[in-house]
Amino acid sequence: MNIYIGYKYRNVEDKQNLKDSLQKISEAMSSCGHSVFILGRDKYNWDHDSVPASKSIIPIIKNIKKSDILFVYVENDKRSTGLTFECICAKILGKKIVIAARTNIKGNFFKKFSNNIIEFFSTEDLVLKIKNSLNSLI
């Protein structure tokens, strides 16, 4: 399946840790036979700090259309306009949405978009859960 990974970027302090986590998640999905798209990595080569959000609208829509699933990676409880936009696009386009949310997040706004939720303690925990149970959610 084609999986689009949505994530919060601008509100994240440790961007290198985020990139490393996303890469591990992508590798876990690929090892299960899935094709993975990450906007920042695949469209902007991780150089999207200077790209205005408005310039990402078309690539987001285009790549969610190509995908079967939106996998929403949530590490904190801060709101994200971009991630909200990706969730709304996926809903409108009838795509399946899987939410991966860190366990300690209270009242996670993004959980409203899907009943397919993976809670995790760490990136390593999430990678194991992806390898063991992602296919049953999709």
pLDDT at 31: 95
Residue pair 95/68 in contact by the 8 Å Cβ criterion: yes
Give the structural domain span for 124.
2-137
Question: What percent of the chain shows pLDDT beyond 70?
Answer: 98
Residue 115 predicted with pLDDT over 70: yes
Q: How many domains does the chain have?
A: 1
CB atoms within 10 A of CB 41: 16
Residue 102 predicted with pLDDT over 70: yes
Residue 108 predicted with pLDDT over 70: no
Q: Give me the mean pLDDT over the 57-86 stretch.
A: 94
Residue 137 predicted with pLDDT over 90: no
Q: Give me the mean pLDDT over the 95-117 stretch.
A: 84
Q: Which among 138, 9, 5, 115 is positioned nearest to 63, based on CA atoms?
A: 5
Measured distance between the N- and C-terminal CA atoms of the chain, rounded to whole angstroms = 9
pLDDT at 120: 95
Token match 């925990």: residue?
A: 125
Residue 4 predicted with pLDDT over 90: yes
Residue 92 predicted with pLDDT over 70: yes
Query: How confident is the model over 17-65, as pLDDT tens digits?
Result: 999 999 999 999 999 999 999 999 999 888 877 778 788 899 999 999 9
Q: What is the mean pLDDT of the chain?
A: 91
* Helices and strands: H and E segment counts in the chain: 4, 5
Q: What is the CATH number of the domain that holds 83?
A: 3.40.50.450
Tokens of 33: 């036979």
Residue pair 59/43 in contact by the 8 Å Cβ criterion: yes
Q: Which among 69, 61, 63 is positioned nearest to 2, based on CA atoms?
A: 69
Tokens of 30: 């690929």
CA distance 63 to 119: 25
Q: What is the pTM of this model?
A: 0.92
Specify burial of residue 124 (Cβ count, 10 A radius: 0-12, 13-18, 19+): exposed
